Homo-oligomer: A and B are copies of this chain.
Amino acid sequence: MNNLFSIINGTFVRADEANIHIADLSIQRGYGIFDFFRFIHNRPVFLDDHLNRFYHSAKVMHLPVEQDRATLTNLILELQEKNKLPDSGIRITLTGGYSPDGYQIAAPNLLITQSPFSYNPAVFEKGIRIITYEHQRQLPQVKTIDYLKAIYLQPHIKAHQADDVLYHNQGLVTECPRANFFIVNNREEVITPGNHVLRGITREKLMGMEGFRVKEGNIQISDLANAREAFITSTTKNILPVLEINGKPVGNGQPGPVSTALFRQLLAMKESDSSIS
């Protein structure tokens, strides 16, 4: 972070001096929302989608955003120009602000940070192992800063020699803490849970891909044993095959053909996108 800048409420500050007062409602009450997108070769990828979701999350959580869309976009592009990180991640966080009583929402604090990030496609082949866990995230359709259970579960995940956790509730699979979940069934349909999950941007892109039958549907815990392929999606992970669930291999335990084809199409889409409205 040596020479990088961050932005706090529209003001550029040195990244290592980006402080806020501890009265902020994120620190006091875990109250805030955020979004995260990538610059690839100096292009902000799916920026429109991420800004749509950011303003939507803010609205649902009763957090007024002082910066309109054009102002926010300009701040992001100016940050990119100053930091000179062609491949990077940008996080926009909006907190509950400095609450006088530590409970009521105040004027939100808007925090924008940028850090280097390059994606290594080799991780696709390696895949991940996951375990299932019964939990339902609160307000799942909003990208809040609440990852309490996910971080709490880290030692549990490690103890099971897994890389991540897949939540389920009342017998139905939902999502991973930071990624959406998909299976490929015997009919080569690509199924992702439709309810009680975050509408990930990568998830939405897959839903719209031609040449595949990607759709929403219930996934029972018991369906996992019969899945031909399984994978998760996120802005940083793209498509990442799930090769093992609760210690049992998915399909033949290798990344499958449908996952691979979707993966290639997604990377091509991201290479060509430069969505600044």
Q: How far is the CB of A79 from chain B (nearest CB, A)?
A: 14
Copy number in this complex? 2
B151 touches A31 (CB 8 A): yes
Decide if B151 touches A144 in the complex (CB within 8 Å): no
**Size range of the interface on A?**
35 or more
How would residues 250 to 270 of chain A score, 1 for a CB under 8 Å from any chain B CB and 0 otherwise? 000000000000000000000
A276 close to B (CB within 8 Å): no
- Say if the beta carbon of A27 comes within 8 Å of chain B: yes
* A211 on interface, CB distance cutoff 8 Å: no
Whether B154 pairs with A144 at a CB distance below 8 angstroms is no
Interface of A is mostly: mixed
* Segment with Cβ contacts to B, from A16-24, A66-74, A196-204: A16-24
The residue from B21, B61, B93, B148 contacting A144, defined by CB atoms under 8 A apart: B148
The answer to whether A29 touches B147 (Cβ under 8 A) is: yes
Contact of A27 among B103, B111, B138 (CB under 8 A): B111
The answer to whether A22 and B113 have CB atoms under 8 Å apart is yes
- Further 19 A-B residue pairs, CB within 8 A, beyond A16-B21, A20-B20, A91-B102: A19-B19, A19-B21, A20-B22, A22-B93, A27-B93, A28-B145, A29-B145, A29-B151, A30-B146, A31-B148, A96-B151, A103-B178, A104-B154, A105-B151, A105-B154, A138-B138, A139-B148, A139-B152, A146-B148
